[in-house]
Amino acid sequence: MDDLHRLTISEAHQLLKGKKISSVELTRACLKRLAQAEKKVHACVTVCAETALKQAEEADKAVSGGKVQPLTGIPAIIKDNMCTRGIKTTCASRILENFVPPYNATVVEKLKDTGIVILGKANMDEFAMGSSTENSAFFPTRNPWDLDRVPGGSSGGSAVAVAADEAIYALGSDTGGSIRQPAGFCSVVGMKPTYGRVSRFGLVAFASSLDQIGPITKNVADCALVMNVISGHDPHDSTSVPDPVPDYIRSLVPDLKKLRIGIPREYFVEGMQPEVRVIMQTAIARLEELGAEVDWDVSLRHTKYALAAYYILAPSEASANLARYDGVKYGFSYQDTSSMWEAMEKTKQFGFGAEVKRRIMLGTYALSAGYYDAYYLKAQKVRTLIKQEFDRAFEKYDALVTPTSPTVPFKLGERVDDPVQMYLSDVCTLPINIAGIPGISIPAGFVDGLPVGMQILGKHFDEATLLRIAFAYEQATDWHKQKPPL
């Protein structure tokens, strides 16, 4: 079979289970595709061909012994801010360019227990700070639907790897939309679970109260399969919640009868691309056809303050988290100095990129004496209001539906010198991180060949309802089956 790299997790699992293909064959097919596509899209920072083939051989032994789980032997790509033992974890930053972790992140360990095959580590905006994957210290990643456009960020490499069929699935992280926005821009499925549903242990921190790991997949069923494995309590992560995890596959039913869906008007923002608005209206009408009760008259009036609050909260946490990169114990260390203090200063000056330094300065200013109450404390109060507003909405509705992004993917370089315009890319996604609720982006259509994503939001720990709605819509459309012209 020449197109094994195009398989979904479910399809690959059935073939592996039936011994019609081997994990080694599947891995070789993905590595071949990766080598071809990487010349155009640049989705990966590190490719681990030798390690992947060894893992595939181990998976084949497990399959021969009858120990085959849904993800056994399925090749994946991991975002490069999750620790992988023996494999470089750079966060797409010069300061960690040669860092090799001595341990695995919990999510990687869980996938390893099922027989994961790691093809490589995905490119990203440096330390996950960005919306376009142009802030990588190494190279920008390109959108496979149009190589002159961005794939979104910061998990752009993960989304591109799945959209371009370099990997069967990928892991990303989401602090303000970093899984959902690139999933929308690349026409794949991306889920940000509820804060605390998936362990953050081994995820290199950006903003600890906002970060969350989640899957990027080719369809909704695959998303449910990955969520089944990576979810659950972890004693290594104090923010991990010990609630039981349902079998998300059971939620995949193709009708929406009796479900109440609200459409918040604030997410159809001023400046939204008219074609995106039309696609969203068509997609929501399809949800009604599938049996959902849709209310177009929903208001979340504090949404307009979310962007400002986020860009105080996230940089404040980043300034604290990134203080550890001083060049003393690990990572890049500037040596040509006369004092320890100068060495630490120069390490950060030359180790961090422009966007990371911008956010560190923003956060340090917001936390400084005399400004803490005016900025950080006020932003935390706004955060509480946003969360309470979502809670009230979910007393009435089972889910909310919004665009994933107000525009289609923009051109490379178009917003690099305009940070405010770049930050506005996440206007539909970041309130969800502030509130800690789950969200999923699924393919909803195209504007002149460029993808548009639909975002579905739900109650805390109710990923099952989001997957149900996403699956029903997916079964009634074929947007997820479209492939980029690579």
The catalytic residues are 79, 154, 178
Q: Which amino acid is at 271?
A: G
Q: Evaluate whether 311 touches 362 at the Cβ level (below 8 Å).
A: yes
The whole-angstrom separation of Cα 62 and Cα 79 is: 26
Chain-centroid distance, C-alpha 346? 32
3-state secondary structure of 243: coil
**Backbone Cα Rg of the chain:** 21
The whole-angstrom separation of Cα 159 and Cα 42 is: 12
The whole-angstrom separation of Cα 133 and Cα 242 is: 34
CA nearest neighbour of 5 among 31, 24, 43: 31
370 φ, ψ to 5°?
Answer: 95, -20
What DSSP character marks residue 198? B
The whole-angstrom separation of Cα 188 and Cα 158 is: 10
Any alpha helices (H) in 322-400, and if so which ranges?
A: 340-351, 354-367, 378-396
**Per the structure block, which two tokens stand in for 354?**
């422009």
Chain-centroid distance, C-alpha 176? 9
